[in-house]
Structure 1
Amino acid sequence: MPTRLHFDEADYLNCRFAHSALWETQAAAHMLKRPDRQVYQRPWLRRTRGRAAAMDLTPLWLLMPQRGATPGWLCPPPTTSAADFEEEIAQLRASDPLAAREDALRSLKANPRALAAARDRGWLRQPARMLRDVSDVLEQIWTSLIEPEWLRIRTLLEADIAFRTRRLAEHGLGELLPEISAQCTWQAGTLTVQGRTDHERHLGGQGLVLMPSVFVWPHVISTFEVPWQPALVYPARGIVDLWSEPAAPARATLTRLLGSGRAAVLASLDAPATTTGLARRLDLAPSSVSSHLSVLREAGLLSARRHGRQVLYERTGLGDALTAGS
């Protein structure tokens, strides 16, 4: 059964990429419930088996039917390009309890046992308790299972977004979307996503949030109900090698990859710095540092922002990953 998302002229202008720490946290919980989704996560599962076994994930799993939608308030599309977990979980805790209950009921009714368990927990009478219970579990998962690996995960997500952004610039949205997944097709301004639900939505100028995910494989999750912005969550590129360890020390590999000058510049940016400041610190000519910064920025390892009359350079998530092991 397909989901059809219809674009108009304003929607093309409002499509954007984002990744979300909260989404990855709840998606990891969903994956732990579904052995068929665990193929590429086995090294991570082995490392976290003891910590995961010590948790009671039942409150989350009750809202994750095998067939049917997870409540939108549990993992809404982020409003920024790189959502911070602490901000997202605070927003979840502040959700309207009555609206959350109505949304949760749509998921609970897909599984009579889950509905009965929710009643036993008092969730339907006291939806604020449901929000508290679910938020507490999400925080436990984040702290114990996801945050220790977040640099690695975030780097993969940001690398996917950088790749897709280039593809979008080169080929346009109509070619990009079918590349994301074999489940996606594009024709005459309509994105069709094959899945288990039959759904149709006119985006109405909101555009589409494109979200790579580590834990959603092999599925593509399409659209969110009103009031959330429509979104397409898809498996990030490179998850096959996500949990593999580097074959050599990171600093030596970094030097061989980039050369000693660029490696030194990248490694020195633990905090934002200017060209002049880096040149003094590294005892290099400002022109050499400027050249290295330009190449590193073009490669997606650095970003630049203006602060008054100065331009500050800082590492991106990808840049952090390349220096993390050193």
Structure 2
Amino acid sequence: MPGQVVFEHEDLMRCRFAVSPLWETLAAVHTLFEPHRQGFHLPWLRTARLPEQVDLTPIRLLLPRPGYVPDFLTPPPDSPLTSFEDGIARLRATPPDRVDHELRLSLLAPHRRLPPATTEQLLSDPAATRDTMADLLTSCWNELVRPHWPRLRSLLDADIALRSRVLALEGLEALMTGLDDRLRWEGETLNMAGPSAPERLHLGHRGLVLMPSAFIWPELILISEEPWQPTLVYPARGVGDLWTPSGSPPEALAKVMGRTRALILTRLTAPETTRSLATRLDLAQATVSTNLIALRDAGLLESWRVGREVFYARSPLGSALVAELPQL
């Protein structure tokens, strides 16, 4: 039987999207530990390196599979623009008694059976363990994630833009069920399949944070341990193309509309901003902007504004043209 997340009216009003650089860092470390879980990140894994003096053993002990990962390691972001530094500051501010409680939930779970000396080392001084984790995650951010953050952030922002558009045009049910195949919306209850699904969670007017992640696939994770705001972490769209080189557009299409416009049209597989697309294709923003507008004016792209950003996506005509390319 699937788990259930029960909403009330106040919870619906407090649903929001967020991005967490700290979460992505911990998820990237998890991928580093278990590279066999997915092939999407192989290009990243080939270059992911940490200095020899960085020992990730303490973090590895807190990433059991299966099992509970302490939530204090990734406090839900409190704003859409939370930085890594903001997340680490909240981690370091976690009260020692909360750290101790969550460490015990993870380390002393019956199925784990860790050596007493190992658990005692982490449990003897919760504040010191918390600070050690913060230091290690900072090293991982600087070496593994920060160099790629513009690319990762663009992917996550594009996912949120798409979901926001679905919410505006089709409503909450379409938004929730579109996040992942394991989610079903019934009345005011979100049914969720998977190992992290709660038996029955009442949000209690706390709302729900919806957070896309590049490194979480194929998992779907619900953070529900109080006092943290409930957070649903789901796989972002477009991860399969995250590390794909820009390459060359199909020659037949390039002859018709020019190489740059053909490249943009074929690589725009999900909504993106001018800035994110320019970063991904290694082109000047001015060049990308001019060509996006030309493709939109030709009816091959659509655009819409979210806050200060303008997002572009293929129109039905543009998608039909790309779909026919193998036959050209």
- TM-score (ref. length: structure 2): 0.74
5 Å matches for 1:284-295? none
Listed one character per residue, the Cα deviations across residues 222-263 of structure 1 (whole Å, up to 9, x for unaligned) are: 1321111111100000000100121269xx8379859xxxxx
Check conservation: 1:154, 1:317, Cα contact below 8 A.
no
Distance change >3 Å, CA 117–CA 180, structure 1 → 2: same
Question: What is the aligned partner in structure 1 of residue 119 from structure 2?
Answer: 118
Q: CA deviation at 1:38?
A: 2.8
Q: CA deviation at 1:299?
A: 3.5
Gaps of 5+ in 2: 250-258, 266-273, 276-285, 313-328
Question: What is the aligned partner in structure 1 of residue 4 from structure 2?
Answer: 4
Question: What is the aligned partner in structure 2 of residue 76 from structure 1?
Answer: 75
Check conservation: 1:193, 1:222, Cα contact below 8 A.
no
Matched, 1:174 2:167: no
Check conservation: 2:6, 2:189, Cα contact below 8 A.
yes
Check conservation: 1:18, 1:78, Cα contact below 8 A.
yes
Q: CA deviation at 1:142?
A: 0.1
Question: What is the aligned partner in structure 2 of residue 90 from structure 1?
Answer: 89
Q: CA deviation at 1:131?
A: 0.8
Cα distance in 1 for residues equivalent to 2:130 and 2:53: 21
- TM-score (ref. length: structure 1): 0.75
Check conservation: 1:74, 1:92, Cα contact below 8 A.
yes
Distance change >3 Å, CA 190–CA 141, structure 1 → 2: same
Question: What is the aligned partner in structure 1 of residue 202 from structure 2?
Answer: 202
Q: How many residues align?
A: 271
Check conservation: 2:3, 2:200, Cα contact below 8 A.
yes
Q: CA deviation at 1:34?
A: 2.5
Check conservation: 1:62, 1:118, Cα contact below 8 A.
no
Cα distance in 2 for residues equivalent to 1:163 and 1:68: 32
DSSP-derived class of the 2:50 partner: helix
Cα distance in 1 for residues equivalent to 2:193 and 2:89: 33
DSSP-derived class of the 1:65 partner: coil
Check conservation: 1:224, 1:230, Cα contact below 8 A.
yes
Higher mean Cα deviation, 225-234 or 31-40? 31-40
- Match 1:253 to one of 252, 257, 260: 260
Check conservation: 1:11, 1:206, Cα contact below 8 A.
yes
Q: CA deviation at 1:8?
A: 1.0
Kindly provide the amino acid, as one letter, of the partner of residue 71 in structure 2. Answer: G
Kindly provide the amino acid, as one letter, of the partner of residue 190 in structure 2. Answer: L
Question: What is the aligned partner in structure 2 of residue 165 from structure 1?
Answer: 164
Distance change >3 Å, CA 169–CA 302, structure 1 → 2: closer
Kindly provide the amino acid, as one letter, of the partner of residue 85 in structure 2. Answer: E
Listed one character per residue, the Cα deviations across residues 106-162 of structure 1 (whole Å, up to 9, x for unaligned) are: 01113222764131x3x2221111011111110011000000000000000000000
Gaps of 5+ in 1: 259-265, 268-281, 283-288, 305-314, 319-326
DSSP-derived class of the 1:82 partner: coil
Aligned identity (percent) is: 41
Cα distance in 2 for residues equivalent to 1:316 and 1:144: 31
Distance change >3 Å, CA 257–CA 39, structure 1 → 2: closer
Question: What is the aligned partner in structure 2 of residue 14 from structure 1?
Answer: 14
